[in-house]
Amino acid sequence: MTVRVVVADDQALVRRGFAMILRVDDAIEVVAEAGTGHEAIEAARLHRPDVILMDIRMPGMDGLEATSRILREADWGVRVLILTTFDPDEYVYEALRAGASAFVLKDIPPEQLATAVRTVAEGGAMLAPSITRRLIDRFAQRRVAGTAAAGRVGRLTEREREIAVAVARGASNSEIAERFLIGAATVKSHVSSILAKLGLRDRIQIVIFAYESGLVEAGDHDVGH
């Protein structure tokens, strides 16, 4: 099965160059080219490609905005591969938030471009090595910062950790009592113990501590207890 691709770049030469590079790969078919963000959206609607190769800097609507719009309205499985020339400090996070599946610099070897397109088409993601590093550091940092406080978590007993998490989820003492099938007084005593061991003032500080230490994490969370 061939991968159907749209190439979007404001410079016709670059655009055509990429298209030719991709056409060498039998598994890839370039179905359209676009020179602006609007044209990219048009082409996406018209051809319903599997992958869009998107430049960031384009006149009128830029690639990030176009990416965001295409992915918001697309009812088929389209993935966007961002191609950019320069060090993409400010763009990369915005692009990932917009839903891009790849972010590669234009200096990659030609044969890797086709590999990237196929990878993206298969549901994978691909980032320039420097960006991958930044993303990993960002991920690990949260944990490194956590370990400082996480040392204190070790002083809590198993039960206390459970209850600390429940507190961090927003449960009241009576709710915790119900959930764990114990008395309200017991919960109070556990909470007091947690506060004493962690040197905190009130349950609010427990919530903050839990988020800062990684005991709980934003997102992995069923709010509707």
2 touches DNA by CB under 7 A: no
**Stretch of residues binding its own copies (CB under 8 A), selected from 52-60, 157-165, 188-196, 207-215:** 207-215
Identify residues 204-223 at the interface with DNA (CB under 7 A). 204
Identify residues 141-200 at the interface with its own copies (CB under 8 A). 141-145, 168-170
Considering only 28, 128, 164, 176, the residue that binds its own copies (CB under 8 A) is 128
Q: Is the Cβ–Cβ distance between 102 and 127 less than 8 Å? A: yes
203 touches DNA by CB under 7 A: yes
Alpha helices in 31-153 (DSSP H): 37-47, 63-73, 89-98, 110-121, 129-153
Considering only 72, 75, 109, 196, the residue that binds DNA (CB under 7 A) is 196
Question: With respect to its own copies, which residue has the nearer C-beta, 14 or 125?
Answer: 125
DSSP 3-66: EEEEEE-S-HHHHHHHHHHHHTSTTEEEEEEESSHHHHHHHHHHH--SEEEEES--SSS-HHHH
> What dihedral do alpha carbons 135, 139, 141, 144 form, nearest 10°?
-150
Q: How far is the CB of 197 from DNA (least distance, A)?
A: 9
Binding residues for DNA, rule: CB under 7 A, are 157-160, 172-174, 177, 180, 182-186, 188-192, 195-196, 201-204
